[in-house]
Amino acid sequence: EIDDRDFVDRLHGFFTTNILIGLAVLVSFKQFGGKPIECLVPDIFTSSWEQYAENYCWSQDNYYVPLKESAAGMEEEEKKARKISYYQWVPFFLLISAVFFRLPSLLWKYLAGHSGIKINELVKMACDNNNIKPDIKKANIKSLVIHLQGALKFHKRVFFLCNLPYSSAYVTLMYVLSKFLYLANVTLQLFLMNSFLETDRYKYYGLEAVLDLIRGKTWDQTGMFPRVSLCDFDVRVMGNIQEHTIQCVLVINIFNEKIFIFLWFWYLTLFIFTLGSFLYWAFINFFPSTSKRFIARHLEMSELMFDPKENEKDLDKFVYGYLKYDGVFVIRQLTMHSGIIFGTEVVANLWRSYYNLERELKRSNSIDNCFSASNSPEKAKNNFQYDDSNEILLRNRKTFPPNVNYYKNTLSNDPLKESLSNEKECLIPPPMPSSDVINALKKATGLSSPSIGSQSTTSPMYEKYLSEEKRKAKNKKVYFIEKPENTKNKRSESPTPPSTYYSFALEDNVTSFNNVPPEVQKTDPPLQNLRLLELWKTFSKKYGGDSIDRWHFVYTSNLLIVFASISAFKTFGGDPINCLVPGSFPGSWQVYAENYCWSQDTYFVNPNEHVANIAEKDRYSQDRKLSYYQWVPFFLLFQAACFRFPSIFWKYISLNSGIRVHEIVERAMDPSNLEIATKEKNLEILTQHISLALKFQRKIAKKNIVIHKTMKLLNISYSACFISYMYLIMKSLYMINVIVQLYILNKFLETDKYQWYGFGVIKDIMLGTQWERSGYFPRVSLCDFTVRQVANIQKYSVQCVLVINIFNEKIFVLLWFWYVLLSVATLASFTYWIFVMTFSCFGRGFISSNLELSDVEDFDPIRCKKNVRRFVNEYLKQDGIFVLRMISTHAGIIFGTELVSKLYNVFLEYEENKKLELNKMIEGHVMNTLRKRKDIRKASNISLCSEDHYSGLLDNIEEKERPDTANSSGTTKSLKSQGSQTPKHYDSKISIGYSNKSVETIYHNYMLTLYKDIKH
């Protein structure tokens, strides 16, 4: 789901909340749907007495006494001190925790909606997948700018607390407040967990619980989540009250122990991330210099000719007087969710609108001051000041068509300030989509076009939004034509951003349900079909990786989740263990023994070895004890999360660049590309998007912009190799993860005998060694337990069969060999990508081979070698080649070849335009010099050649053969050797940034010819 929260916020409001709800459901299922407790009752108890005792002890608090201590004669006060009652409240405690984790996000959503800035809608518009289309992207940016222009005007000075929603920092304050609530909540949850579990002995529960596990301390030594407890209850028999004390095993505590250990470490991780996020947002929002630098670097990266030093005053007014806190905060959110390129274009458009309005405002104020200053130019010159009234003028404005000056038609006898401040205008929403868009929407939702003659049926709800556009439009485009309306007598409501739900209808094959308005979703049932399409797209996304990556985050993670579900179903919902008890044991004793032995660790003894010969202290030694079978579902889920993490890292990090790799791959893999028209349209869209993204990267490199001056390593996110490096890091994470998983697997199964578990198992199978001799995944184990009878403690040893180990053995043998295969394939893939990204010859070979297969006219790999080199090294660079490789990998060589050929044609056109622009600059310098020489000729009657001679001179020079570098470098020397200086109009900066040596040579030859001719 696309929203205005960052990754840390989603960890709280989405992931943690859903985890807690899921755990609460599982615990409730075991507590209220199964048998969470089994009690050891006397032989004289009937089945009804046994059921009564178990239900009573479950609903009543129990108390824990170590097995080696006697409970006889224990005082009531001491029993209360040992009381255990938290297990009854675990589901409710987890649900309350889930509510607290969700509350800050709900509070942020509610409070942020009171401002005029619809931050959630803005982020959805910025993250629209159709922004890969330049026209849709441009229209969305224009709508965002219009909305921000209208919303910022509501900001006023805060006089009272009730006016806070109308201040210029309301949204920012509410977001920082939500961050603080997240931090306070997770801190409170850590302390509440300790209090809820009554862990007075542990200051840091989770850490010390893990240390107990490492040291080999069990629950009977620590008293944490005890498996066995005591229960006192009274029974009225024959008018007398008889007291009974029975021993019960709390099966649910096996699950509770794992839950709270996981949650404690999860909360600790959340606390660290939330603290860092809170400090980060507080710093960047409330330190003015950070906001100014943020906007300045975006303006530097834009297409505007912006210099922070020259425009420092305008920048201060733009940041502190126009955008203020909320404006900068919104731009940060848009940049964080949609990428640096989208955010830069939004800032550039806001700057243009502000700069044009500021210029008109100053001009109008100067005219107004001339009237008020009694035609005194001295007073009018110094009369303008930037105050609150001018700020109102700056914000209360309308968007006018281009080349239209609003102030030209303003009456001169009325003050302009009053005419603007009293203007009651409203935002002009963009027009609705065309009829073709309607048909596309009907096609996507499974609706047929209504017949002309049918008047009885009611049209769907979305017709209200789509029927006002002209029906004659033929092309599938969104026309954002600003039609001026008479809105003088209308007061604008709280500005709402134009809806973008119709943007998905522009694509016949790419649907999106998130952009459909809620009222349409509820009242138009056919639109519910889009939910299935969205769900299918979610599970079928490729995330821009290769097949080896999908082996990790798709197949392996899903396989582990399936195995964990099957194991958990058998472990907590079936009979994972069956014990062979003495015949004298009643039925309740057998159930008690099985539940106790399952919750307690068992130990393995070779069938040929007598149990009586083994000392009691050696029975649960490290080499005999079996405890991993209780942790198998949790261990598998942990592994699934580890295999999924690198893909989440790659998806989140790659969004910071302007190249939308995931949307590019999805569009390239569109099944409708089988149609020629759709394929050509998608190729054109991808070509434009990649070209614009590469242009942005070249712009930053050409301007030599340093974004982060202290932490220079962060500047890599603005380079032309960011996506490539992040992909290599993801590959390395996959490699490290699978190797670590092999090591953890050996440690988890306690296979100290085998250094390589899987090979050892295969060797045992080949040699005919059974589990009785190897001891791995034994089917039969032993269990010791004690029973209190007549104030005495009696010890029993029973033999149990671990049915679950039959399944565990197959699972882990399969997983071990799968991990080995994954490690080999990942190592090969990682090596391949390092080679193709490090050595540029592989990139040139890839592009050259694609161009040979394409329809590019007169392409010869040898003759066009220099063009290909420039195309790879100067135009595509590493990220461009990486994206093209991804497209060829997913969409096939044919689609990739056609895209490479289109980009190559764009590159040739770019080179030609660059040469023409440089030639125009040179010709302009020459013509200016000639005009000056004409003035000299008139004074001294010196005859010179006509301007036509010099205008055609460049064409003649271009036809000449290109001299080598030595001649071009000697050209400048020859100028100086003739005893004169180089012409003043020669600008060496023109050649900077152009690696085309032929253009530089033409420039030098042109200047030399001009100099000699003028001197002659």
What confidence tens digit (pLDDT) does each residue in 22-58 have?
A: 999 888 887 777 777 888 887 777 788 888 888 888 8
- pTM of structure: 0.69
pLDDT of amino acid 194: 80
Tell me, what amino acid is at 135? D
What is the 8-class DSSP label of residue 452? Answer: S
Instruction: Find the mean pLDDT for residues 225-236.
Output: 81
Encode 308-360 in three state secondary structure. CCCCHHHHHHHHHHHHHHHHHHHHHHHHHHHCHHHHHHHHHHHHHHHHHHHHH
Task: Quickly state the pLDDT bin for 257 (edges 50, 70, 90).
Answer: confident
Residue 784's nearest CA partner among 770, 805, 798 is 798
pLDDT of amino acid 912: 86
Q: Which residue has the tokens 């080199």?
A: 869
pLDDT of amino acid 1016: 52
pLDDT at residue 116 is higher than 50: yes
pLDDT at residue 818 is higher than 90: yes
Highest averaged pLDDT of the listed ranges 67-81, 516-530, 822-836: 822-836
Residue 230's nearest CA partner among 37, 47, 51 is 37
Helix H segments across 11-89?
A: 17-33, 47-59, 76-81
Q: What is the CA radius of gyration of the chain?
A: 38
Rounded to an integer, what distance in angstroms lies between the CA atom of residue 697 and that of residue 22?
Answer: 45
**Angle at 518 (CA atoms; ends 513, 524), nearest 5 degrees:** 80
Rounded to an integer, what distance in angstroms lies between the CA atom of residue 951 and that of residue 923?
Answer: 7
- Residue 76 CB contacts under 8 Å (≥ 6 apart), including other chains: none
From residue 935, alpha-carbon distances to 930, 942, 1010 in Å are 9, 10, 17
Residue 895's nearest CA partner among 690, 675, 668, 677 is 668
- Residue 9 CB contacts under 8 Å (≥ 6 apart), including other chains: 105, 178, 179, 182, 277
Structure tokens at 517: 């308005």
In the chain, the percentage of residues whose pLDDT exceeds 90 is 17
Residue 337's nearest CA partner among 105, 117, 124 is 124
Strand 37-40's sheet: what is its strand order? 37-40, 240-250, 228-237, 62-63, 83-84
From residue 467, alpha-carbon distances to 156, 461, 477, 753, 923 in Å are 38, 11, 15, 75, 54
pLDDT at residue 924 is higher than 90: no
- Per residue in 155-175, pLDDT tens? 655 455 566 777 788 889 999
Burial of residue 769 (CB within 10 Å: 0-12, 13-18, 19+) is middle
Rounded to an integer, what distance in angstroms lies between the CA atom of residue 603 and that of residue 601?
Answer: 7
pLDDT of amino acid 525: 46
Question: What DSSP letter does each residue of 99-111 carry, written as one string?
Answer: HHHHHHHHHHHHH
Structure tokens at 541: 């996304």
pLDDT at residue 485 is higher than 60: no
- Per residue in 542-565, pLDDT tens? 456 788 999 999 999 999 999 998
Instruction: Find the mean pLDDT for residues 204-214.
Output: 69
pLDDT of amino acid 497: 42
**Domain architecture of the chain: domains with CATH:** 7-109+182-275 (no CATH), 288-418 (no CATH), 435-450+462-540 (no CATH), 556-666+708-836 (1.20.1440), 929-1015 (no CATH)
pLDDT at residue 376 is higher than 60: no
In sequence order, what are the beta bridge partners of 83?
Answer: 63
Instruction: Find the mean pLDDT for residues 477-495.
Output: 40
pLDDT at residue 439 is higher than 50: yes
Give the mean pLDDT of the chain: 73
pLDDT of amino acid 405: 44
- Per residue in 60-81, pLDDT tens? 778 888 777 776 777 777 777 7
- Residue 842 CB contacts under 8 Å (≥ 6 apart), including other chains: 835, 836
